[in-house]
Structure 1
Amino acid sequence: MARVAVLHNTLDFQGGADAVCLATCEALASAHDVTLVTASETEPAALADRFGYDLDGVAVHVPPLGRAVAGVLSVAAPRIGPQLAARSAFLQRSFERIADRFDVAISTANELDLPIPSVQYVHYPQFRLDRLPDGDPGRLDRLWSRLSAPSDDTLMGPDVTLLANSAWTADVVDRLYGTRPAVVHPPVDPVECETPWTDRENGIVTVGRFAPDKRPLDAIRIVDEVRERGHRVHLHVVGSAPRAYRDYAARIAAAAAERPYVTVERDVGRARLETLLCTHRYGLNTKPEEHFGMSVAEYVAAGMVAFAPDSGGQREVLDEREDRLFDSVSDAADLVSDAASDGEPPSTARDRFARDRFGAALRDAVDRTVD
C-alpha cells in the first residue's frame, strides 16, 4: 500500500476535470492510502455526492490559506481572466512542504513540476500556452510557467507517468513538451434508463458549467433555429454556476426567461440529471475544441443522440460522424432538425468509457510509478 497524494487545483468549477479527480480518489482508495490535496471553496464530499462517487477512506488536505486564496480568485475571475495555472502554482508550492509524507503524487490538474514520482493526468496543458498558436495563456502565463511548469526532460523522465484524456489532447502535449502521453479516457458509466426511445420527449439537454467557454447561449440559439424549421423541441440548460461566472450565469437566466421552451436548472443532483438524460432524445454540446467532452460521453451513455462541435476530443466520442458534428450554430440546427425528422434511435455503444476501465488504468499507472 502506497501513500498517495491526489493533487487537484480546484473543485470550484465543478466540471469534467473535477469528476476525474473524484474518480481517481475512488479508484485508488481501495488499494492505497489516499489524500486529496486541493485549494477549493467546494467541499469534496458534496461534489462527490452530486457526481456519484464514493470518497470513504480518502483524507482531504487543504493548504494553509487555501480556501481564502480560492475565494479571492473566484471573486476576481471576471477581471483577471484564466486562473487555473495560478491555482496550480499555488497548490504545487504548498504541496512541496508536505511532499515527503507521500510515496507518489497524482496530478489530476494537468502538468506540474513535482518533487516526488508522479502520475500526471492532462486534460489540457496549463503552462507555456503562448507557444501554441491557438493557446489562451492569459496575461500572467509566463509567470506561472516559470514558477511551476515542468521541463521537457522532467516529463520524459522515469519518475513521471503521463496520461491524457483524449488523443487530441495527447497531440497538444506532444507539440508543447516533445512527449506523447498515453490516452486514458475519463470515466463515464452507462446510465440505466427505463424510458424507451419512442417514449422520450422530443427535447434537448445541454449539460456543462455556466461559463463563456462552454457557450450555453449558443445552445439556446440553436434551439431557436430548430424551432424556426418547424420542430417543437424544448431545451434544458443544466449545470453549475460557480461564483467566478456569476455574471454570465445571469445572462443565461435572462435569455431563458424570454423563451417558454428553455428551462435552466442549476446545481442539480445526480438523480435529476439522469432523469433528464433518460427522458429526452437529444444531447447538445456547444464548446469548440472540448478536450474530451464528458457531457457528450454522458449523452451517449444515456442512449441519446448527441451533437457537438467538429473539433477537439469530442470527435473521438462521436466516432467522427459527420451527421453529429457541426461547425456553426446554423449547421447544428440543420443536423438536429434532420435527426428530429428521421426519428432514428442512437447507435453508438453506451459502455465505451465505463468507470471500471478508468480505475484499472489509474491503478496500473500508480503501481508502475511506485515500483
Structure 2
Amino acid sequence: MSRIAIVHPNLQMKGGAEDVCMQVIEALQDENDVTLLTLISPNITELNQYFDTNVRELSVRVVPQAITEICQRAGNRAVKLQSAILARFAKRNLADFDQMISTKNELALDINSVEYIHHPQYSIDDPGLINESLPRQAYDRLCRELADVDRSKLDSICLLANSDWTAESFHDAYGIRPKTVYPPVHTDRFSQLDWEDRENGFLTIGRIGPSKRILNNIEIVAQLRERGHDVHLHIAGPTTDGEYCDRVKRRAAELEFVHFEGSVAYDSLTELINEHRYGLHGRPYEHFGIVVAEMAAGGMVPFAPNSGGQREILNEESTLLYDSPTDAIEKIETILEDAERQTAVRETLSSTSQRFSRDRFKREIREIVMKEPESNE
C-alpha cells in the first residue's frame, strides 16, 4: 500500500478543481494510504454531499494555524500566493510519502509526483483574468519565487492537463506538453427529460464571481426577452465572491425573470439541469468547463465563449460558441427559433456522457498513478 499525499489548497472553494480532487481521492483511497495536504481543513461530509462523492474521512495535514487564518480571510483573493505557500509546505513533508499528487496546477514537487494542470499558474497570466499593473507583476514574481517552479523541475514529473487547450498553454509556457485527461463529469445522473417537457429557460452554473461574467449573462437573457422570447434565467453556484455576488443579487432582484439560486444541493442542481433547455456560460478562456459538460450530458443546449477548453466539450460547434454578448444573442436567437437546429445540436453532443464520465476519469487516474514514473519528453 503506497503512502500518497494529495496536495490541494482549499476544497471548500467547491469549484471544478475541487471536484477533480475529490474524485482523485475517491479513486485511490481503497488501495492506498491517502493524506490530504491543504491550507484549510475541509468538511468532508459537506463536500461529499455537494459533489455526490464517497470520500471517507481521511488524514489531513494543514499548514500552521497563523497561515490558515490568513488564507481564510483572503478567500478568493491571492489564490496564487496561497498555492505557492502550499507548495512550500508540501515540499517540507516529502519524506513522509511515496508519491504526491497536486490536483491544482504545477508545484514542481521534488518526488515521484503527478500534477494535474488546470492552468499554468506560475508562468503566464490566465487570459480570462489579465492584470498587467506593476503591483500585479510584483505579486506574480513573488509567487513564482516562493513556489520555486522552473522548467528543469518539471521534466521528471507526470503532468496531466484538463483539456488540449490547457496542455497547449502549458507547452507555450514551459516547452512541455502534458497528457490530456478530461475532468470527471457525473454524466449518468440525468434523466434525459423529453425536450417538450423542459422549461424554456437558461441556467448559469458556477462560482458567482467576476470571471464567470454572470452580469453579462443576465443582460443577454434580458435582450432576448426584449426581442420577444419568453425565456428566464436561473443562477446557481457558490457565493464566495462577496462584492460581485452582491451586484449580481441586486441586478437579479430587479428582474422578475431572473432567479438567484446561490449554492444549491447536488440533487437540486441535477433537477435544474434536467428540467431546462438551455445553458449559458460566460467565462472566456475556460480551462475546461465541467458545468458546460454537465449541461450537454443533461440534454441541454449550452452556449459558451468561443475560447478555451469548452470548445472541445462542444465539439467546436460554431452555433454554440460566441465571441461577444452581441454574438451570443444572435446565435441563441437562431437556435430558439429553429426546432430542427435544436435537435441537430443536441445530437452532436450525444457522446458527452461517454467522453467525460467519472468512471473513465478514475480508471485513467489509477492507471497513471500505478505506472512507473517517466520523464517528460
> Could you say which TM-score interval applies, normalised by the shorter chain?
over 0.9
Q: 2 CA distance for matches of 1:277 and 1:131?
A: 29
Give the structure 2 partner of residue 362 of structure 1. 365
- Following superposition, the deviation at residue 308 of structure 1 comes to 0.3
Q: Residue type of the partner of 1:335?
A: K
Contact 1:132–1:176 (Cα < 8 Å) also in 2: no
Of 7-16 and 195-204, deviating more is: 7-16
Q: 2 CA distance for matches of 1:167 and 1:45?
A: 33
Give the structure 2 partner of residue 23 of structure 1. 23
Give unpaired runs (5+ residues) of structure 1. Answer: none
Give the structure 1 partner of residue 290 of structure 2. 294
Give the structure 2 partner of residue 152 of structure 1. 151
Give the structure 1 partner of residue 93 of structure 2. 98
Give the structure 2 partner of residue 279 of structure 1. 275
Q: 2 CA distance for matches of 1:133 and 1:221?
A: 20
- Following superposition, the deviation at residue 67 of structure 1 comes to 3.0
Name the SS for the 2:319 alignment partner.
Answer: coil
Q: Residue type of the partner of 1:279?
A: E
Give the structure 2 partner of residue 8 of structure 1. 8
Give the structure 1 partner of residue 173 of structure 2. 176
Give the structure 1 partner of residue 107 of structure 2. 112
Give the structure 1 partner of residue 207 of structure 2. 209
Give the structure 1 partner of residue 164 of structure 2. 167
Q: 1 CA distance for matches of 2:62 and 2:316?
A: 41
Query: Residue by residue, what CA displacement relative to the aligned partner does 1:63-100 show, whole Å, maximum 9, x if unpaired?
Result: 222531321222xx5xxx5x222111111222223221
Give the structure 2 partner of residue 353 of structure 1. 356
Name the SS for the 2:107 alignment partner.
Answer: coil
Q: 1 CA distance for matches of 2:109 and 2:131?
A: 24
Change in 2 beyond 3 A, CA 1:20/1:131: closer
Q: 1 CA distance for matches of 2:319 and 2:221?
A: 17
> Residue 233 in 1 paired to residue 236 in 2?
no
Query: Residue by residue, what CA displacement relative to the aligned partner does 1:161-197 show, whole Å, maximum 9, x if unpaired?
Result: 0000000000111011110000000001223215211
Number of corresponding residues? 361
Name the SS for the 2:307 alignment partner.
Answer: coil
Q: Residue type of the partner of 2:247?
A: R
- Following superposition, the deviation at residue 11 of structure 1 comes to 2.3
Q: Residue type of the partner of 2:18?
A: D
Name the SS for the 1:323 alignment partner.
Answer: helix
Contact 2:295–2:301 (Cα < 8 Å) also in 1: yes
- Following superposition, the deviation at residue 135 of structure 1 comes to 5.3
Of 89-98 and 169-178, deviating more is: 89-98
Contact 2:41–2:60 (Cα < 8 Å) also in 1: no
Q: Residue type of the partner of 2:49?
A: D
Change in 2 beyond 3 A, CA 1:125/1:49: same
Question: Alignment identity in percent?
Answer: 40
Give the structure 1 partner of residue 250 of structure 2. 254
Q: 2 CA distance for matches of 1:5 and 1:289?
A: 30
Q: 1 CA distance for matches of 2:33 and 2:130?
A: 37
Q: 2 CA distance for matches of 1:200 and 1:350?
A: 20
> Residue 333 in 1 paired to residue 317 in 2?
no
Q: 1 CA distance for matches of 2:141 and 2:172?
A: 18
Give the structure 2 partner of residue 189 of structure 1. 186
> Residue 304 in 1 paired to residue 300 in 2?
yes
Contact 1:10–1:87 (Cα < 8 Å) also in 2: no
- Following superposition, the deviation at residue 301 of structure 1 comes to 1.2
Change in 2 beyond 3 A, CA 1:220/1:130: closer
Query: Residue by residue, what CA displacement relative to the aligned partner does 1:209-248 show, whole Å, maximum 9, x if unpaired?
Result: 0110111111101101111121100000100011xx1111
Change in 2 beyond 3 A, CA 1:130/1:315: closer
Contact 2:285–2:308 (Cα < 8 Å) also in 1: yes
Q: Residue type of the partner of 2:159?
A: L
Q: Residue type of the partner of 1:72?
A: R
Give the structure 2 partner of residue 34 of structure 1. 34
Name the SS for the 2:11 alignment partner.
Answer: coil
Change in 2 beyond 3 A, CA 1:304/1:37: same
Contact 2:85–2:146 (Cα < 8 Å) also in 1: no
CA RMSD for the aligned pairs?
A: 2.0
Q: Residue type of the partner of 1:155?
A: L
Q: 2 CA distance for matches of 1:133 and 1:337?
A: 26
* TM-score using structure 2 length: 0.91
Q: 2 CA distance for matches of 1:45 and 1:135?
A: 36
Change in 2 beyond 3 A, CA 1:214/1:50: same
Change in 2 beyond 3 A, CA 1:201/1:20: same
Give unpaired runs (5+ residues) of structure 2. Answer: none
> Residue 200 in 1 paired to residue 201 in 2?
no
Name the SS for the 2:246 alignment partner.
Answer: helix
* TM-score using structure 1 length: 0.92
Give the structure 1 partner of residue 49 of structure 2. 49
Name the SS for the 1:116 alignment partner.
Answer: coil
> Residue 121 in 1 paired to residue 116 in 2?
yes
